[in-house]
Amino acid sequence: MGAMKQLELINITKHYPGCIANQGICLSVEAGEIHAILGENGAGKSTLMKIIYGVVKPDAGQMLWQDHEISVKGPAHARQLGIGMVFQHFSLFESLTVAENIALSLPKQGCSSLSELSRRIIQVSRQYGMELDPERKVYSLSIGEQQRVEIVRCLLQDIQLLILDEPTSVLTPLEVDSLFATLRLLADRGCSILFISHKLSEVQSLCDQATVLRGGKITGTCLPSQTSIEQMARLMVDEDTAISKSYPRAEGQASVLVLNQLSYQPEEPFAMPLKNISLDLRAGEILGIAGVAGNGQGELLKLLTGEYLGAAGEIEYMGEAIGKLPPGERRRRGIAVVPEERLGRGAVPNMSLAMNDLLTGYTCDLSRFGWLNWKTIVAHTAAILAKYRVKSDGPLAQAKSLSGGNLQKFIIGREISQQPDLLICSHPTWGVDIGAANLIRDELISLRDAGKAILVISEDIDELYQICDRLCAICHGSLSPIRNTDSVSINQLGQWMAGEFDTETPATPFQEAVHA
């Protein structure tokens, strides 16, 4: 590996109204080095990467590219310099083909025809082990394949620094291995890689160097191969926060929710049809459904909330066929739901927290005969804010003014305060800081121990292993077999997530990974 510094950041600072995103960041990356940027949600990693890529301008500090001081004017300029970035949320146009998408990000000069570009795409994608068909429309690709489009897009531009923002959160374990192989190939050819993540075990296996961010500042650097997971985690969070938590398993009692061969064909053209989903969720247990986005989780959730209405008998709750009941009726029977979209579905961004409390609370006494008593509602909201330690400007604060973690605490608190018998959560701690995530998991476990049934749909495998009593996976709209968590190895889960439901690898006890 060359010792030339590919990239150097000196005292980069960026502020937004109300928060310090980056403060005095110093970083250096060598050619061919795979460098991890570690930190909790909200630590400032994404902002820093956006500064390097030119999407955001820093308020102070210098950036040196190959020992020259530069100021990146925008993504196009960054690409000219040889910097490529794959965001967490892809910048792809679903109604266009792969080739068209890539063509749009290439500079206009030297623009080859689409057919010439298609040839190059096939060549490069094969070279790095990421097969792609240039003529396919992006909406027909899986999330993993869409990520490949993003990466190939960067590769076609002869990059010397590739930035990846949380790339593995949308991949199955198999796809993760494949991605790492590609990245090692890239690094061997002299390309530097900035790898943003909060998954410490992955960082250990892939990265040469790591820099840790917390609250916008650097708290330390380390060599992941020589540092334990606990040590890395300790750099990411402050002294008071617990790093690892383990919960005892529980066993379910009476049946609460039964899905009988649930099938559904959505109207929207890009949605995933569900096929014969069956499960039996019991009181006093947490059942987890693993799976990367786009495999039917969203559709399944809508069938459970009542936003989609299917056949009556396919969903049974406490013995009653509820498949055709609208959401209000299901709530009145004791079903509470936390959807994956916090702002803009779970909560209305511009409305106050009190109004958002009413959003699902109207089924429980917050409204009588259609009349609203705002004093009661506001008091109710204030109680939730206090109990779940939600940092806000009070019950009248707008929902969008809360941080992700605080908003999620509020939403979970709102649902639990309705005293449900069944709680369904989708991605409960996604994008949430560790303090809030711990509190949320504690609450879920308490609810379970109080004899309620909980269904968790999540992409976060570590979390699922931490809190679920039973596990399964969803792939292409079908459900894998459901087994006790302790008897499902990570390989097994990976196979289920890839759709291989038939093979059952021998049970080896899974060692709990420390999740930070």
Residues contributing to the site for other proteins (CB under 8 A): 15-18, 20, 55-56, 59, 74-76, 79, 87, 90-96, 100, 103-105, 108, 111, 267-269, 305-307, 326-331, 337, 339, 341, 344-351, 355, 358-360, 362, 367, 370-372, 398, 401
Where helices occur in 58-170 by DSSP H, the ranges are 75-81, 98-105, 114-127, 143-155
Smallest gap from Cβ 421 to other proteins, in A, equals 18
Between residues 147 and 211, which has the closer beta carbon with respect to other proteins?
147
- Asked if 474 and 291 count as a contact pair (C-beta separation under 8 A), the reply is yes
φ, ψ (nearest 5 deg) of residue 293: -60, 145
Smallest gap from Cβ 178 to other proteins, in A, equals 25
Smallest gap from Cβ 15 to other proteins, in A, equals 3
Where helices occur in 338-487 by DSSP H, the ranges are 353-361, 374-387, 404-416, 434-449, 461-467
Between residues 326 and 394, which has the closer beta carbon with respect to other proteins?
326
Q: Of 100, 107, 162, 157, whose CA–CA distance to 132 is shortest? A: 100
Smallest gap from Cβ 453 to other proteins, in A, equals 20
> Vertex 259, ends 255 and 260: CA angle to 5°?
115
Between residues 72 and 236, which has the closer beta carbon with respect to other proteins?
72
Between residues 180 and 410, which has the closer beta carbon with respect to other proteins?
410
Smallest gap from Cβ 326 to other proteins, in A, equals 5
CA dihedral (383, 384, 390, 391) in degrees, to 10, reads -40
CA dihedral (232, 237, 242, 248) in degrees, to 10, reads -60
What are the DSSP calls for 324-379, one per residue?
Answer: T--HHHHHHTTEEEE-S-TBTTTB-TTSBHHHHHHHHHTTTTSEETTEE-HHHHHH
Q: Of 452, 485, 483, whose CA–CA distance to 466 is shortest? A: 485
Instruction: Give dist(CA 38, CA 196) in Å, integer.
Output: 6
Smallest gap from Cβ 107 to other proteins, in A, equals 9
Between residues 167 and 252, which has the closer beta carbon with respect to other proteins?
167
Between residues 124 and 348, which has the closer beta carbon with respect to other proteins?
348
Between residues 358 and 464, which has the closer beta carbon with respect to other proteins?
358
Between residues 112 and 253, which has the closer beta carbon with respect to other proteins?
112
Which run of H or of E encompasses 204? Answer: helix 200-206
Between residues 93 and 508, which has the closer beta carbon with respect to other proteins?
93
Smallest gap from Cβ 340 to other proteins, in A, equals 11
Smallest gap from Cβ 70 to other proteins, in A, equals 17
Smallest gap from Cβ 482 to other proteins, in A, equals 27
Q: Of 48, 42, 37, 41, whose CA–CA distance to 210 is shortest? A: 37
Tokens of 292: 């990367």
